[in-house]
């Protein structure tokens, strides 16, 4: 029904807005493929193919510190996503199928964990991690396990809520039938719930993985050397004097790459995810 004029004006406007969205990222990519001498001068948004250099990426990837950051980020995000999905699935199943007194309050309390400002928890968590949660010489500070556990505060409420909606959508008759056949709770979860909720669990896993990957504040405060993640590595480029912009851009590109890659998969669920289902996407 739309008139062609309106249609193409809208199209043109969206081209404009997309350019505005992509321009900073495009600029960062340009910086990351320029040699140090090409950086300064009149900024141009055009890519000079003959002068592309991948040296920045090569240097960064060959750097052992960066490799460790990358590895830590991969381990922490993956373990956190797995842990959050497992715990969230159990909790969501309980919430969906069992009759328990006070479970609505528990539900609400779990969700409020997500709303808390992280900065307010930095100090107590730092003190707990360095001084209280310790066994002999070993403390949670600067360990991957510490980060994996911590990111549960951010991700578990989210997974819990998302998975509950998914399990609510699976007919309870299916597990009733299995219970009648003598299956245990564990078997019902494994053979009925997990396969049927599979796609939902995958989306939950991917989104929590991205959230954990993107986290910076806690990672920078609760680690020092061994468990530093890629986001803290990126931030370190700023504080070091004589910033190497090309390498910083390369690290930033590598940091945002996974998120950009999964965008297509989770796009439909982002709205519901970020609003806790208050708004359906």
What is the C-alpha separation between 144 and 215, in angstroms, rounded?
13
Confirm or reject binding of residue 238 to other proteins (CB under 8 A): yes
Q: What is the DSSP letter of 53?
A: -
List all residues 6 or more positions away from 164 whose beta carbon is below 8 Å from its beta carbon.
92, 95, 96, 107
Choice from 57, 66, 93, 158 touching other proteins (CB under 8 A) = 93
Confirm or reject binding of residue 202 to other proteins (CB under 8 A): no
- Closest approach of other proteins to the CB of residue 130, in Å: 11
What is the C-alpha separation between 276 and 170, in angstroms, rounded?
19
What is the C-alpha separation between 258 and 54, in angstroms, rounded?
19
Site track for other proteins across 98-137, x = CB under 8 A:
xxxx-x--x--xx--x-xxxxxxxxxxxxxx---x-----
Choice from 75, 94, 194, 196 touching other proteins (CB under 8 A) = 94
Confirm or reject binding of residue 61 to other proteins (CB under 8 A): no
- Closest approach of other proteins to the CB of residue 24, in Å: 4
- Closest approach of other proteins to the CB of residue 227, in Å: 16
Site track for other proteins across 155-184, x = CB under 8 A:
-xx--x------------------x----x
Confirm or reject binding of residue 45 to other proteins (CB under 8 A): yes
What is the C-alpha separation between 272 and 71, in angstroms, rounded?
30
List all residues 6 or more positions away from 116 whose beta carbon is below 8 Å from its beta carbon.
153
């Amino acid at each position: 029904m739309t008139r062609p004029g309106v249609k193409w004006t809208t199209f043109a406007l969206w081209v404009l807005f997309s350019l505005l969205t992509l321009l900073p990222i495009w600029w960062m990519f340009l910086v990351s493929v320029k040699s140090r001498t090409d950086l300064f001068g009149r900024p141009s948004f055009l890519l000079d193919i003959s002068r592309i250099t991948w040296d920045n990426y090569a240097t960064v990837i060959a750097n052992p510190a960066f490799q460790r950051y990358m590895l830590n980020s991969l381990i922490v995000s993956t373990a956190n996503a797995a842990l959050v999905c497992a715990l969230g699935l159990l909790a969501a199943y309980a919430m969906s199928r069992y009759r328990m007194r006070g479970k609505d309050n528990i539900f609400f309390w779990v969700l409020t964990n997500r709303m808390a400002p992280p900065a307010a928890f930095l100090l107590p968590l730092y003190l707990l991690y360095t001084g209280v949660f310790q066994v002999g010489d070993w403390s949670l500070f600067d360990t991957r396990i510490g980060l994996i556990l911590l990111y549960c505060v951010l991700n578990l409420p989210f997974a819990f809520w998302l998975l509950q909606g998914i399990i609510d959508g699976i007919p309870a008759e299916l597990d009733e039938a299995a219970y009648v056949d003598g299956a245990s709770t564990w078997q019902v979860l494994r053979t009925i719930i997990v396969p049927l909720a599979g796609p939902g669990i995958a989306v939950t896993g991917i989104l929590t993985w991205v959230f954990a990957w993107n986290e910076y504040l806690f990672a920078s405060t609760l680690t020092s050397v061994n468990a530093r993640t890629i986001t803290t590595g990126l931030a370190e480029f700023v504080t070091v004097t004589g910033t190497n912009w090309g390498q910083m851009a390369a690290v930033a590109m590598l940091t945002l790459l996974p998120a950009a890659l999964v965008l297509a998969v989770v796009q439909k669920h982002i709205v519901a995810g970020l609003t806790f289902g208050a708004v359906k996407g």
